[in-house]
Chains A and B, each alone.
Chain A
Amino acid sequence: AQSVAQPEDQVNVAEGNPLTVKCTYSVSGNPYLFWYVQYPNRGLQFLLKYITGDNLVKGSYGFEAEFNKSQTSFHLKKPSALVSDSALYFCAVRDPQGGGYQKVTFGIGTKLQVIP
């Protein structure tokens, strides 16, 4: 069975500082990994994904994430946080070797608060 853990309910960071939102996963094979963001009263928006290749993935709005197979992690990062980055962030995993329909498993979300 596949699973995702987002160990922090909330992350607070000052505007202009780097931010990290943590994610670890568990799958039986090589994972497909995704990050989504949800702003208030909106659906989830795709930020970036890791499928294969370079471990550092760049996505929308200046976000990036690093796939670390040995630590089974896929932390989301941004060099300089903006107040407008304040939102709920979801990590998700899919096991491409699961066979049949391959369900995506989402984490419970981490609330990012960027303080002016």
Chain B
Amino acid sequence: ETGVTQTPRHLVMGMTNKKSLKCEQHLGHNAMYWYKQSAKKPLELMFVYSLEERVENNSVPSRFSPECPNSSHLFLHLHTLQPEDSALYLCASSQPLSRNEQFFGPGTRLTVL
């Protein structure tokens, strides 16, 4: 297993609920990422934080709200989601240089009813 953990591993929520996904990395990296993985689609990069500053926001709906309180922790706050938001949400971390590979957590399987 990598040094990136995600909780919860599974989440079922209604469209009116508020929930948060948590990611923690123990690798000393300075960049963290949220991806959405849906079947038969490329990984969709949602947000990137480098040195705790958001550097990428890929036109993600406002019902997804990221938070990076420090370089080891990343949150994704969820509010009034839609059924099409059901997917595997992956967190990753890396050193910021572009030649460095990313280390992924196991993901949170989200189902929106």
Interface residues of A (CB under 8 A from B): 4, 32, 34, 36, 41-46, 49, 51, 90, 94, 96, 100-109
Q: How large is the interface on B (under 10, 10 to 19, 20 to 34, 35 or more residues)?
A: 20 to 34
A106–B43 touching, CB < 8 Å: yes
* Residue among A34, A100, A103, A104 with max Cβ neighbours from chain B (10 Å): A104
Write out the residue numbers on chain A whose beta carbons fall within 8 Å of the beta carbon of B104: 36, 43-45
B4 within 8 A of A: yes
B45: contacting residue among A36, A96, A104, CB under 8 A: A104
Contact A45 B55 (CB under 8 A): no
Question: How far apart are the CA atoms of A52 and B79 in the complex, in Å?
Answer: 44
Closest B residue to A34 using CB positions: B101
Within 8 A of A (CB), among B1-51: 2, 4, 6, 40-43, 45, 48, 50
